[in-house]
Amino acid sequence: MAYSSGTLLDYFSGNDFSLGTVVKDGDGGRIQVKAVKTDVSTKIPNKQVVASYGQPSGKQAIAEIQVSIESECAKVDTAFIWEIFVDSPGEHTFDELAENYYGDKEPLHLSTIARALFKDTDHFRRIQNSFSSIQVRSREEYEEYMNMMKMRAEKAAQRDKAIAWITEAIGYKGEAPFPVPPEYENLVDNTIDYIMCGTNSEAVNLLSRTVVLDKKNARDNAIALLKKTHRMPEGADEFLLANGIHAAFSRNVMEYANNLKEEFDRSERSVVTEELVFSIDDAETREIDDALSCRSEGDNYIVGVYIADPACYVSKGDPLDETAEDRPLSLYLPTTTVKMFPDHLSCDIASLNQGKERPTLAFTMTMTKEGEILDWEIRSAIVTVTRRLTYIEADVIMEAPAPDDASLAQALKSLLFIADNSRAFREADGAVVLNRPELHVRVKNGEVSVESEDQNSPSHRLVAEFMVLANSLAAKYALRNEIPVIYRVQDPPSGPVTSVHEYEPYFFDQQVRKMKRTRLSTYPQPHFGLGLDLYIQISSPLRRYADLVMHRQLAAHSLGKPIPYTQEELFVVLNNVESTASQNRALEKEANKYWILEYLKRNCIGQKMGATVMKVEGPMVLAELDFYCERGVVITRDKPMPGEHIQITIKEVYPDSGRLVLQR
C-alpha cells in the first residue's frame, strides 16, 4: 500500500510500537518514516504498519492521537478478549479482534488492540514476522505457560536468596567458619569444582552476579566464599586460584586417565637392551621424559637420547589431549606443581621410571670424542632406565665414583666431554650462552626456603646439550622426510653479543637486550642463539604440549602411520598454545618473585648484602641483589654508576606489590 508524505502511521519497530510520519514512500515495499518521539528517520517494511491516521493537522493533533492510544490501551481487557477466542485458539488478525471487541476497525482501535495484546504474553503469543495477527493460546497452552512462569519466578527468588547468602558470607568478619545451610551445600561443592577444575555450573552464574565492593569477578567471589566458610581444599594455592590456574583435573579426565593401561603396541618398536640407560633430573621431579646412554665403539662413541612417548596413550582430540591443550605447560611453583597430565600418565605409565619398560622416541648418534656427529638415526623404541640420578648424584659420580659406579661414571664423563665440545662447536658457529642463576623457591608448611642451583654444573651442561642435539636432529629428520613441523627460529641480534658463562647482572642485561625473541615458523630457518640451522622442540612431551604435538608427527612417521597434523593445523594449534604457555611462564615468574620477596621480608629486613647497580635515571637508582637476583629501588645520596657493585641494606619489602626498597 502506498502512503503519501505526512501520513501518520502506527508501526512496529525495534521490538515496540511507534508513531511516525511518512517522509517518503519507498520502492520495494519499504517506507521512510520519522518517529514522533525521537525525530529519527528510518526505513520500515510496509507489512509492519498496524494503522494509518491520515494527515493530522499539526503537532497538537498528533499528540492528541498519541494520548488517545495510551489511554485506550489501559482500558483494554485482554483477558476478556482471550475468553472470547480461547475456544477457537490459533492465529487471529487484529482486524478481526478489533471488530469483535469494538465493533469496528478504526485506526485507534487497531492500534490499541495490537499494542495491548502484544504486551499480554500470558494469553497471547506473537507470531514471528507477523504484524497484523497474533496467536491466541489454548487453555492447555495457557496453563503450561503460567506454570513455566511460576517456576521461573521461584527460580529467580531462589537465585536472589542464594546471592544474598553469598554476599553475607563474603562480608562476614568472624573467625569461626560462616555456616553453610543444607540447601547451599551443593553450591559450595560446585564452587570447589569451579575453582579447582574450572567446571562450569549454576554456581558460577551466582558468583558472577554477586556484587561485593572489593570482589570483582566470579573467581574472586569463589575464593572469598570458600575461605569464609573454611571450605578451601587442603593444599589449594590461592595464588594459582586467583589467576585461574586449575591444579586439579576434572572427574571425567581423571577417570579417563586412571583407566589407561600400562600396555602399549610393541610390534613395530625395537628393544634397547645393550645400553646402560640413565636419567638425570631434579630430586623432586616425577615426570621423567628423557634418558641417556653412552658406550665406546672403537675410537667413537654410540650415544643414545631417549624421549618418553606419551603419544602411545594420548591421541589427538581425546579428553587428555584437550586438557593438555588448555594447560600446555607443567608449572613448577614454590607452593605446588601443576602438571599438564594426571599423575597416572605423566608420573607412571609414560614416565621413564627406573626398572620399567617404556615406549620412547630414540635418537642414536655415532660421535667422535670431539663431539662431531658421524651418523645418526631416530626410531621408536622400548627402553628400560637402569638408573635414576639427580643432578647432584651425577656430579658426585663423575667427581668421585664408587667402585660399583665405574661404568656409569665413564659414560657420564664421556657424555660431558662430548657435550662441552659440542657446545664449543655451536659457539664457534655463533651460539650464545647466557647463564643466569636459577633459584629453587619452596614453600612447605608455611616456611619459605630459597636455594641456588648451578645451571652450569657438569650434569646440567651434559643434559642441556644433548637435549639441544636431539631437538636439532628432530628438525633435520622432519625436513629430510617432509614431515610438517613448526620450527623455532631466532633472528640475528641488534648488535654483537658476548656469551655470559659467569653471571654478572649488568653485563648479562646488556647482552639479553640485543637478542631477538624466538618465534614460530612453518619454514626451516636458523636459530641464532643456539647456533643451529634448524631447531624444533620435542624433548619434553610430558611437560610441554607443543613438544607432544611435534613428537606425534615424528613418532607417527617412524612407525609408518598417517601424520596427525597438516602444516596449517600445526600452526593454529601451536600459535594458541604458545600464547597460553607464555602467560603461564609469566605466572611462574611472578609466583617465584612473590615468594622470594616474602622470604626477604621474613628473614632479611635490615640485613646488609651486595647488589649491582642496573639503572640510574635522575634520582632513581635500581639495583639487583646478589644471590636473590631481585631488583629494588636504592635510597642513596650518591649517584653510583650502572654496573657498579655496592653494599646495601634491605629496608622495606612489599611482596603483594612486588616492591623492594634498598638503602645504601
In one letter, which amino acid is 564? P
DSSP state of 58: S
**pLDDT at residue 215, as a whole number:** 56
d(CA 287, CA 310): 11
**pLDDT at residue 250, as a whole number:** 84
> CB–CB of 246/196 below 8 Å?
yes
**pLDDT at residue 242, as a whole number:** 78
> CB–CB of 381/307 below 8 Å?
no
DSSP 421-476: HHHHHHHHTT---B---EEEEEEETTEEEEEEE-TTSHHHHHHHHHHHHHHHHHHH
d(CA 582, CA 575): 11
**pLDDT at residue 213, as a whole number:** 57
* Sign of the torsion formed by the C-alpha atoms of 543, 546, 547 and 548: positive
**pLDDT at residue 189, as a whole number:** 92
In one letter, which amino acid is 225? L
**pLDDT at residue 27, as a whole number:** 63
d(CA 626, CA 485): 42
**pLDDT at residue 388, as a whole number:** 96
* Sign of the torsion formed by the C-alpha atoms of 371, 375, 378 and 380: negative
Count of beta carbons in the 10 Å neighbourhood of residue 275: 21
Q: Cell numbers for 588, please give them.
A: 611462574
Per the rule left: phi > 0, alpha: psi between -120 and 50, beta: everything else, 490 is beta
Mean pLDDT per block of 10 residues along the chain (664 residues) reads: 88 88 78 90 90 91 93 93 91 93 94 93 89 92 92 91 92 92 93 84 85 72 92 81 80 92 89 91 93 94 96 93 90 88 96 96 93 94 96 95 93 95 91 91 91 89 96 97 94 92 94 93 93 95 94 93 92 83 86 94 96 93 95 93 96 93 95
Helix (H) or strand (E) holding 50: strand 49-52
Count of beta carbons in the 10 Å neighbourhood of residue 609: 15
Residue with cell 490499541: 112
Count of beta carbons in the 10 Å neighbourhood of residue 347: 17
Angle of helix 202-209 versus helix 185-197 axis, rounded to 10: 90
3-state helix, strand, coil in the chain (%, to 5): 40, 25, 35
Per the rule left: phi > 0, alpha: psi between -120 and 50, beta: everything else, 526 is beta
pLDDT tens per residue, range 100-151? 999 999 999 999 999 999 999 999 998 888 888 999 999 999 999 999 999 9
Q: State the Rg of the chain over Cα.
A: 36
Cα–Cα distances (Å) from 652 to 335, 447, 605, in that order, read: 24, 20, 7
Residue with cell 594420548: 314
> CB–CB of 411/293 below 8 Å?
yes
d(CA 435, CA 564): 37
Domains and CATH numbers, the chain: 8-137 (no CATH), 142-234 (no CATH), 270-583 (no CATH), 604-663 (2.40.50.140)
Q: Cell numbers for 516, please give them.
A: 631477538
pTM over 0.85: no
pLDDT tens per residue, range 294-307? 999 999 999 999 99
DSSP state of 388: E
d(CA 439, CA 282): 13
Which residues, other chains included, contact 656 with Cβ-Cβ below 8 Å and sequence gap of 6+?
Answer: 594
